[in-house]
Amino acid sequence: MASDQCSLEAFKEGKPTRAKKREQVYNLIKSAPYGISDYEAAKLLGWPINCVIPRRQELEAAGRLRRVVGHRNEMGRHVNIFYAK
């Protein structure tokens, strides 16, 4: 999936679909007692990472998430972990 395809799909689908996807991301994060990274969320939702990050950013901007610098992923990089407030 092209990097701009998710944005194009979201634009075509309109706000109700973005809101639904945003809630799917929020519910997944809320259900993770030890938090979750963007990459883990993408894997569990079966979505490309570039479809998860914008929805998570919207939730973070709305004050619904807390960010913590977390563990190293399988590639040895530090990843941010997100928790629902």
User: pLDDT at position 61, please?
Assistant: 96
Q: Is the pLDDT of residue 65 over 90?
A: yes
Q: Where are the domains of the chain?
A: 5-84
- Alpha-carbon gap, residue 37 to 84, rounded angstroms: 12
- Alpha-carbon gap, residue 10 to 18, rounded angstroms: 6
Q: Is the pLDDT of residue 1 over 90?
A: no
CATH code at 5-84: 1.10.10.10
Across residues 39-53, what is the average pLDDT? 95
- Percent of all residues in the chain with a pLDDT value above 90, rounded to a whole number: 66
